[in-house]
């Protein structure tokens, strides 16, 4: 890869990486939170230390909050805009160096709707919103059921499995690939690209990790060029075909939107399913209750989303001089919002560190964000995860861990890389 890409990494990721490491050694709770992402990483002690520093913490690397009220307020306030590496203010010559190493359209840079503000965000979100209405999502239920049944049938009876690779990742990738018109044989490749690119949501990532992510984005860009050209010749009954036919988006916007929908379409859900399995196995009394009170499954999904959020954090920047929690923030100030911390705020959730599938206000969590950037696919993720979890435990009632689950070495996306289990006997189950 060209040296100019290394320079870009150094400016956007390398310098923050070294600063975070230095501040973590000095005991800064925010630096420790985002900098310790090994496969056995538990972020919650660091989040509670951050909470203990006050509702809005000003550390050497910026502002941060784990407060529910402040997090929700910032997410819903038009005076705060999206923050990402792309809008860090750098001197002109350094900005030119970054532009010289431009990446293809991807989920974490404009024109991806994930990282842009109105009016561009409004236009792009409107272009795909029809595919995620309650009616549209409801029509997918039958396909979700059939995909889940096929995957459960393929799991070995009385055998071992990695529930991430063999099940949790396969349910959402099958659905979102079909929604975007991608052929079945491309699913494994998209999983690999998504796994490589997901660290781009973090900051301070290593050069090798960034290089692998950039390479994945470049390879995916070539695939999308061919796929979009094919849809122009032979459009199908899918989201991307409808966008191509409408002609409202240019090629760069089409590819940014496609890559975002593909990544978001399975990243949150695979983590949600994996986290749900681990929590239910760790709380067998609550799993037993679900077997006798299956009507609690929707609430269980909400509690998993709250208790062990698949998306842990986001960031906002003040678009003007403003106030948050009684603190004056000047234009350009950046606030990191700990969604996972907000979800365990004791002022909002009683006994927040207790996993409780009967929690009445679990659905008030902020895992799917709030305001104009609320996750478009939240209803789809809930449906996929709820059906996948219930079907799994109904089909394999003796399911048990066979080793230590391995966390993904990420900060923003929070889930498991490996989830080894013994499946036990297979039961005939219907949902």
* pTM (predicted TM-score): 0.95
- The pLDDT value given to residue 3: 86
Let me know: does 424 contact 397? Beta carbons within 8 Å. yes
Residue 275, pLDDT > 60, answer yes
Three-state SS letters, 75-104: HHCCCEEECCHHHCCCCHHHHHHHHHCCCC
pLDDT digits (tens, 9 = 90+) for 120-176: 999 999 999 999 999 999 999 999 999 999 999 999 877 899 999 999 999 999 999
Q: At what angle do helices 297-307 and 251-282 cross, to 10 degrees?
A: 100
Res. 36: pLDDT tops 70: no
pLDDT at 223 over 70: yes
pLDDT at residue number 62: 83
- pLDDT tens digits, residue range 374-407? 999 999 999 999 999 999 999 999 999 999 999 9
Could you give phi then psi for residue 415, rounded to 5 degrees?
-165, -165
- Cβ atoms within 10 Å, residue 176: 24
pLDDT at 334: 93
Q: Is the pLDDT at 91 greater than 70, yes or no?
A: no
pLDDT at 39 over 70: no
Q: Which is more confidently placed, 35 or 357?
A: 357
Kindly give the pairing relationship between strand 62-65 and strand 334-338: parallel
More confident residue, 35 or 289: 289
Domains recognised in the chain with CATH numbers: 3-422 (1.10.630.10)
Percent of the chain with pLDDT over 90: 81
Query: Nearest-CA neighbor of 255 among 213, 221, 290?
Result: 221
> CA–CA separation, 323 vs 59, rounded Å?
18
Q: What pLDDT sits at residue 32?
A: 87
pLDDT band at 84 (very low <50, low <70, confident <90, very high): confident
**Interval 226-239: pLDDT, tens:** 999 999 999 999 99
Q: Are 187 and 174 in contact (CB under 8 A)?
A: yes
CA angle 104, 207, 59 (to 5 degrees): 100
Give the pLDDT band of residue 199 (cuts 50, 70, 90). Answer: very high
Mean pLDDT of 267-289: 97
Residue 304: both structure tokens together: 């998993």
Q: How confident is the model at residue 99 (pLDDT cuts 50, 70, 90)?
A: confident
**Considering the chain, what is the average pLDDT of its residues?**
92
**CA of 327: how far to CAs of 158, 267, 373, 389, in Å?**
58, 35, 24, 43
């Amino acid at each position: 890869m060209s040296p100019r890409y290394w320079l870009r990494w150094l400016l956007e990721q390398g310098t923050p990486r070294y600063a975070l490491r230095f501040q973590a050694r000095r005991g800064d709770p925010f630096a420790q939170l985002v900098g310790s992402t090994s496969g056995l990483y538990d972020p919650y002690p660091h989040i509670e230390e951050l909470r203990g520093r006050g509702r809005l913490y000003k550390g050497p690397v910026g502002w941060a909050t784990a407060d529910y009220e402040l997090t929700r307020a910032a997410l819903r306030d038009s005076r705060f805009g999206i923050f990402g590496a792309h809008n860090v203010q750098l001197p002109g010559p350094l900005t030119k160096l970054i532009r010289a190493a431009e990446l293809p359209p991807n989920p974490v840079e404009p024109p991806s709707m994930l990282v842009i503000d109105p009016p561009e965000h409004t236009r792009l979100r409107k272009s795909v919103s029809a595919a995620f209405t309650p009616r549209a999502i409801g029509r997918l239920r039958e396909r979700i059921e059939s995909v889940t049944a096929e995957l459960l049938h393929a799991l070995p009876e009385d055998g071992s499995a990695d529930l991430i690779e063999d099940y949790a990742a396969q349910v959402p990738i099958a659905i979102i690939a079909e929604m975007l018109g991608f052929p079945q044989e491309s699913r494994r490749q998209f999983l690999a690209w998504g796994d490589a690119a997901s660290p781009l949501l973090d900051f301070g990532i290593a050069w090798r990790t960034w290089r692998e992510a950039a390479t994945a984005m470049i390879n995916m860009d070539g695939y999308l060029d061919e796929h979009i050209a094919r849809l122009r010749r032979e459009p199908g009954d899918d989201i991307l075909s409808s966008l191509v036919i409408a002609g409202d988006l240019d090629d760069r916007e089409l590819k940014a939107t496609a890559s975002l929908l593909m990544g978001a379409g399975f990243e949150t859900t695979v983590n949600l399913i994996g986290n749900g399995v681990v929590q239910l196995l760790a709380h067998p009394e609550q799993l037993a209750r679900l077997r006798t009170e299956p009507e609690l499954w929707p609430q269980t999904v909400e509690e998993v989303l709250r208790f062990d959020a698949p998306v842990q954090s986001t960031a906002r920047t003040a678009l003007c001089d403003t106030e948050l929690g009684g603190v004056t923030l000047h234009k350009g100030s950046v606030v990191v919002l700990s969604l996972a911390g907000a979800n365990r705020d004791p002022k909002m959730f009683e006994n927040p560190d207790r996993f409780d599938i009967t929690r009445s206000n679990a659905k008030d969590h902020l895992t799917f964000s709030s305001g104009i950037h609320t996750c478009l696919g939240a209803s789809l993720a809930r449906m996929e995860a709820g059906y996948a979890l219930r079907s799994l435990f109904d089909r394999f009632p003796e399911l048990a861990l066979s080793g230590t689950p391995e966390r993904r070495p990420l900060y923003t996306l929070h889930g498991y890389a490996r989830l080894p289990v013994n499946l036990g006997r297979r039961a005939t189950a219907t949902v």
